[in-house]
Amino acid sequence: MSTHLTPVPESDMPLRVSVIGTGYLGATHAAAVAEMGFDVVGVDTDPDKVAALERGEVPFFEPGLPELIKKHVESGRLRFTTDLAEAVAASDVHFICVGTPQQPASHGADLRFVDAAAKGVAAAMTHDGIIVGKSTVPVGTAERLRGLTRGIVPTSIHVELIWNPEFLREGMAVEDTLRPDRIVIGGASPWAEDAMRRLYAAPIAHGAPVIACDLPTAELVKVSANAFLATKISFINAIAGLCEKAGADVTVLADAIGHDARIGRKFLNAGLGFGGGCLPKDIRALMHRAGELGAYSAVALMQQVDEINMEQRQRTIDLAVSLLGGSVLNARIAVLGAAFKPDTDDVRDSPALNVSAALHLRGAHVAVYDPEAGATAKRLFPTLTYVGSMDDAVRDADLVLVLTEWPEFTSADPAHVGRLVARKIVVDARNCLPAPAWANAGWEYRGLGVRPAVTVPLKVGESTAA
């Protein structure tokens, strides 16, 4: 960041790490870096969160993370504090892992927390070091932050601001941090790049490729990756609508085109569409920034991707209403799933909750069950009814909606579920159930973009259980 020549840390000196922000990204990154062998201090403004993390308690569901945090709090490699100045003074590499939510009045990213973190770190620096952005930001942010912090850091201190985007999948965040499929380092000098390579020595030894690039490229990698995945999902959902019109089956079609190595089968599952705290926010932020830069083709593409995704929610609502004779007033509807995907309790922009709330507003009695996300869902949509088991949700239901593909739902016995409901009608909005088994158990099965399941002859020894 600074251009003056001052002493820099020796290459064999141990790196000490601070992580600013201990939300989903920050807590995971702090624990994983401690697992890689470094001393780490996590910083947060919330004293209750800091105290909970010191006890190994995580305020969200992420498999393996509480155990990893507890392990390294006990080992002494990991600690948490509310004192930013103390953490920065004790560290050499400072990761900015704060949130970049969507602005209330536009699709643009709210960068207040990133700006505050960068300025706070710069003001607290007492020795040479590196400020590393990990938060997902619009292209051009890092260069602006360099200018923002340049006048804050004392001229006697050598500091660089670089960007190292995250690529975490909720439910797989620990694994993705310890064994990433790529490490992107943007805007680093040879000294800073060497430090980052030492920090990530373990995953690099496991084969993770390192992509060194400029700042704008590093900023665009994460949002471009998410935009591509979102586009792939919206593409197959658009084809699912065509399949319904033509009498085709989108699941078989996806299997067939997925065998093409240039396409691949992942993210070609037609259904309710994407949600969560990343894909919707990131494609809208990319759309907003592309418009500011005059890249209007990207704006148009992202607009269409977003619209197709949102249409899937309405298609599910319309299908539910149709299956119940044109009205859901006073109907009992079981909703299986509240999280935007399995293995998380994240309900941000959850299609499942959006559909549930819409049916509730139409007068249905909606009972929602999710193995992990019930509490977080209740805080966001308190007017819905939440129950503690799948059996409680489906009991006396006129319609069952499968909206999140938890294994508990995909492996459920359709015969058992059939004995609890009032009517055997199921909408598989994730196309995740074994349709023939449900049809053979007497269910009217409907998916999105698939042909209605009909009873098929059983083979010798075959069971109707899922």
Residues with a catalytic annotation lie at 278
| CA dist list (Å): 118 to 47, 137, 168, 184, 250 | 20, 13, 22, 20, 47
Alpha carbons 19 and 131: distance in angstroms, whole number: 10
> Smallest Cα–Cα separation from 377: which of 430, 343, 337?
337
Pairing verdict, β 78-81 and 39-43: parallel
Closest CA to 177 of 27, 45, 365: 27
117-127: burial string, b at 16+ Cβ within 10 Å, e else = bbebbbebbee
Q: Are 277 and 341 in contact (CB under 8 A)?
A: no
Length of the chain, in residues: 466
User: Residue 83's CB: how many other CB atoms inside 10 A?
Assistant: 13
The DSSP-derived string for 298-309 is HHHHHHHHHHHH
Please give the Cα distance from 406 to 350 (Å, whole number).
14
Helix (H, G, I), strand (E, B) or coil at 74: helix
Q: How far apart are CA 441 and CA 417, in angstroms?
A: 10
Long-range Cβ contacts of 7-12 (<8 Å, 24+ apart):
7/128, 7/158, 8/128, 8/158, 8/191, 9/92, 9/128, 9/129, 9/195, 11/194, 11/195, 11/198
**H-run or E-run covering 352:** helix 351-361
SS3 label, residue 148: helix
Which helix (H) or strand (E) covers residue 151, if one does? Answer: none
| Cβ partners under 8 Å of residue 101, min gap 6 | 109, 110, 281
Q: From edge to edge, which strands make up the β-sheet containing 332-336?
A: 385-386, 365-369, 332-336, 399-402, 425-428, 444-447
